[in-house]
A and B are shown apart, each in its own frame.
Chain A
Amino acid sequence: MKTVNEMRLDFRSRPENEALARMVISAFMMPVNPTLEQLGDVKTAVSEAVTNAIVHGYRDRKGLVRMRAWLQEDGELLIEVCDKGCGIENVAQARQPFFTTMEGSERSGMGFTVMESFMDSVDVVSQVDNGTIVRMRKRLTPALCLMRDA
């Protein structure tokens, strides 16, 4: 599938960058006129993925989070959020609603459930001590006829 636009953002694993990631992904989607619903869904899913990278991946240590996004000609948005943090030992378990490794820290364990509910698909690739990649897809419009490559 032909990509009509793509972006990459690297940022420090600091909580204030959760808002940065939401703003950037919103701005990236704007040219294809997403509905408020779609915008909200994607912002929320990105917020969850980035918070996971900061809180669980790096466990509040210093590190870089990378967000990449692609808009495809068929109107699909692809987003990748990667960290080089501690990784997830058991991805299937981590994706269960209410599962959390941080009982005392008031994480709800709902992060992946929210991502799965708000996006069309969510894939997680993770390796202990090597980091985690979360890949999400969402169809925004039937086709990006207004945005073909020049």
Chain B
Amino acid sequence: MLNYEKRDGTVYVRLDGELDHRRAGEIRAELDGLIADPSVKRLVFDLNGLEFMDSSGIGMMIGRYKLMKNRGGSVAVMPGGRRVERIMELSGLYEIIEKMA
């Protein structure tokens, strides 16, 4: 189950628990249905509740970034804990995706 909120053309997704390859597939399936709605212009991932993430999470976010960018939308990330951020920094994802304060 995806924890999200849709407000003024923005979908806020609150990720929690362990984001691995298995979970990334579930999130992808649920999220792509949600952002298929053309009124959605912005997607925000909140990583604060994540206890674990490996590079599958990076792949999932890059994929959603491409989808949103292709239709003129944007993606932003609210940073998570130190461990999650280590993978985020290692991947260079913040060079293409906005990091919110």
Contacts and interface: CB of A to CB of B under 8 A. Distances in A.
Interface of A: 15-16, 18-19, 22, 40, 43-44, 47-48, 51, 54-55, 105-108, 110-111, 113-114, 117
Given A51-B20, A51-B21, A117 B62 contact: no
Interface stretch (B1-9, B39-47, B50-58, B68-76): B50-58
Main secondary structure of the interface of A (DSSP, over half): helix
A15 B24 CA distance: 10
B60 to A, nearest CB: 6
B14 interface: no
B55 A114 contact: yes
B49 interface: no
Interface in B50-100: 52, 54-56, 58-60, 62-63, 83, 87, 90-91
B53 to A, nearest CB: 8
Contacts of A113: 55, 90
B59 A44 contact: no
Interface residues of B, number: 20
Given A19-B18, A19-B20, A106-B60, A111 B55 contact: yes
Interface of B: 18, 20-22, 24-25, 28, 52, 54-56, 58-60, 62-63, 83, 87, 90-91
A40 B20 CA distance: 13
A15 B87 contact: no
A47 B20 contact: yes
B59 A108 contact: yes
Contacts of A111: 55
Q: What are the nearest 3 A-B pairs in CB distance?
A: A15-B22, A108-B59, A110-B55
Contacts of B62: 106, 108
A15 B62 CA distance: 20
A106 B55 contact: no
B55 A15 contact: no
